[in-house]
Structure 1
Amino acid sequence: MVLMSTTDADSRTELEAIKQVVARVEHSQNNELPADFVALFRADAVWTTGHGKRLFGRDAIATFTHQVLPGAMQNTKVTFEVEHVLFIRPDVAAVKVRQVYETPDGQDVGTPLFVMAKEGDQWLLTACQNTTVFNDE
């Protein structure tokens, strides 16, 4: 179930657009498409990986992603579920996501926070923090 901070029709439309960005993150990771993944970020984005690596700007995110994504998803599938969206402003949203990696060794659960900003008619990842969940209760 997705919770929103507002309930008007415009917010529902924006919620669907945000969910599409999250679905594109999932698709690009499962299909090892680093360029598609990187294209979802603003040029000045900040990304902190699940292991705490801090990346500043799309170029740094691209360099890192091109190093780790090819081959990273071998025998692995990830799913993303939008759990909560807080519209900070009509064009800025904090998006809480449940991320589950299915690996040969079992599940690896994460809980990313994606702050997204709307640029023109497109939502882009702006400031993101991934966190591993050690006890998924």
Structure 2
Amino acid sequence: MTDRPDTQECQSDEDDVRLVEEIFADLESAFAEHDAAKFDERFTADVVFTAVNGARFFGWEKIHAYHSERLTGHAGGINTWYEIERITFPAPDVAVVFFRQPIVVSEHKRANVGTWVLVKRDGQWWISAGQNTGVAVAE
């Protein structure tokens, strides 16, 4: 039997962890402000993004159009934030972020879980791919 390699734990830099966490803090504030331009400023030109409803978007223009419509037309009264569960670095310039995103609308609660891939280019972290999944929330 072959030993299976670990791929999630490349040596990580504390500064990289902090920078990735800052991206998610910026996403939170952009959502609260309903600012799609700010929300999308860290997505790559060739991002591949799967929304919680299963819609898949290829490229920044597509995801920005989606977020613009969602944030201006459907975000009123929504309170949401990101709870990062784990950040791994399979390579020095690749981060995989596993998170939970609670969502509260009036008395209704739900949540998404996400797995996003970030890449580091010229010292900056960028969101390259994202997968979001809706989950049931126990009351």
Q: TM-score, normalised by structure 1?
A: 0.88
Q: Choose which of 9, 28, 32 in structure 2 pairs with 1:5.
A: 9
What residue number does 2:103 align with?
101
Q: Distance in 2 between matches of 1:94 and 1:44?
A: 17
What residue number does 2:3 align with?
none
The aligned amino acid for 2:51 is T
What residue number does 1:120 align with?
122
What residue number does 1:79 align with?
81
% identity of equivalent residues: 27
Q: Distance in 1 between matches of 2:136 and 2:109?
A: 11
Task: Write the deviation string for residues 74-128 of structure 1: whole angstroms up to 9, x where unpaired.
Answer: 1111010111011011110110011011111321111011100011121111010
Secondary structure of the 1:69 match is helix
Secondary structure of the 2:57 match is strand
Q: Distance in 2 between matches of 1:76 and 1:69?
A: 10
Q: TM-score, normalised by structure 2?
A: 0.87
Q: Distance in 1 between matches of 2:9 and 2:80?
A: 27
* Corresponding residue pairs, total: 132
Gaps of 5+ in 1: none
Residue 66 of structure 1: how far off its partner (Å):
1.3
> Are the aligned partners of 1:32 and 1:71 in contact in 2 as well (CA < 8 Å)?
no
Q: Distance in 1 between matches of 2:29 and 2:22?
A: 10
Secondary structure of the 1:52 match is coil
What residue number does 1:62 align with?
64
Residue 24 of structure 1: how far off its partner (Å):
1.1
Extract structure 1 runs of 4+ deviating beyond 6 A: none
What residue number does 2:36 align with?
34
Residue 72 of structure 1: how far off its partner (Å):
2.2
Q: Distance in 1 between matches of 2:56 and 2:49?
A: 6
Q: Distance in 1 between matches of 2:73 and 2:39?
A: 15
TM-align CA RMSD: 1.8
> Are the aligned partners of 2:110 and 2:137 in contact in 1 as well (CA < 8 Å)?
no
Gaps of 5+ in 2: 1-7
The aligned amino acid for 1:17 is L
Is 1:25 the counterpart of 2:27 in the alignment? Answer: yes
